[in-house]
């Protein structure tokens, strides 16, 4: 009888520890934040060759920036008016892919191998598939959900909040390029257009900011982009 009582006590202690562990995970990783990312349609961009290119950060693009001044500290091309105020800004960045950032996002939160398996199980192989998945993402989390599911739900929502603030609404680029285009307001009356091009595990970000930027001209300009490997 004493032996059975000891076993029951051990089982109760283990169950209590499991419940405390579950309570800790649920309390710390269950958030009410809604994943809000929306595809607003698509734009078609066809590539065309031009003679006069500007080479900049691994990208060749039609040189419409001869009146601009290159600001090396800001890594940008800036057009000034007579009073030296900034009229328009153009910049290109060759940055890590959204997919790689997602995998590496927070090693202290969740195991990298498990994240890679999660992506594989959900057939997420590139940035566009990741964006499509996040847009449709819905996970019903409760106290009895698996710890991994609770943490993954938190992981995705935190990733969206920290990494994708610009991509809450976007349009998909179709045609000769793969990517998205994001529209927004910068400061006061300034508008911004960010173009994200995905190619061969690279993410090229083209940023246009200004009061008189024109969407039609920018899409035409993006159609001259050639992505190359810098020597």
**What are the Cα distances from residue 11, in Å, to 1, 7, 21, 145, 146?**
15, 6, 15, 22, 21
- 169 conformational bin, left if phi > 0, alpha if psi -120 to 50, beta if neither: beta
Is the pTM here over 0.85, yes or no? no
The pLDDT value recorded for residue 50 is 93
How far apart, in whole angstroms, are the C-alpha atoms of residue 179 and residue 150?
30
Residue 185 DSSP symbol: E
Burial of 188 (0-12, 13-18, 19+ CB in 10 A): exposed
Mean pLDDT of 32-58: 86
CA distance 173 to 23: 44
Task: Give the mean pLDDT of 38-65.
Answer: 90
53: tokens are 């290119």
On the 0-12 / 13-18 / 19+ scale of CB atoms within 10 A, 65 is middle
The pLDDT tens digits for 146-200 are: 888 888 888 888 888 888 766 667 889 999 999 999 877 655 567 788 899 998 8
Residue identified by tokens 């929306």 is 38
Cα 21 to Cα 143: distance, rounded to the nearest angstrom: 11
- The tens digit of pLDDT for each residue in 100-146 reads 999 988 767 788 888 999 999 999 999 999 998 988 888 888 887 88
C-beta neighbour count of 5 within 10 angstroms? 9
pLDDT of residue 176: 95
pLDDT tens figures, 71-94: 887 778 887 776 677 788 899 888
The pair of three-digit structure tokens given for residue 224, joined into one six-digit string: 């001259």
Cα separation, 52 vs 155, whole angstroms: 45
């Amino acid at each position: 009888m004493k032996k059975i009582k000891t076993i029951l006590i051990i089982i109760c202690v283990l169950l209590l520890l499991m419940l405390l562990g579950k309570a800790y995970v649920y309390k710390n990783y269950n958030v009410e934040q809604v994943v809000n990312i929306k595809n607003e349609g698509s734009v078609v961009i066809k590539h065309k060759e031009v003679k006069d290119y500007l080479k900049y950060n691994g990208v060749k693009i039609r040189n419409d920036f001869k009146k601009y001044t290159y600001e090396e500290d800001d890594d940008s091309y800036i057009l000034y008016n007579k009073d030296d105020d900034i009229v328009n800004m153009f910049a290109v960045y060759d940055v890590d892919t959204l997919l790689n950032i997602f995998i590496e996002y927070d090693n202290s939160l969740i195991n990298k191998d498990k994240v890679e398996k999660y992506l594989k199980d959900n057939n997420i192989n590139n940035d566009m598939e990741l964006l499509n998945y996040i847009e449709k993402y819905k996970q019903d989390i409760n106290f009895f959900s698996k710890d991994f599911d609770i943490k993954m739900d938190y992981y995705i929502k935190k990733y969206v909040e920290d990494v994708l603030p610009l991509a809450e609404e976007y349009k998909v680029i179709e045609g000769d390029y793969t990517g998205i285009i994001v529209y927004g307001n910068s400061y006061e009356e300034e508008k911004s257009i960010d173009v994200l091009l995905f190619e061969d595990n690279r993410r090229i970000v083209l940023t246009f900011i200004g009061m008189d930027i024109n969407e039609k001209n920018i899409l035409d300009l993006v159609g001259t982009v050639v992505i190359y490997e810098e020597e």
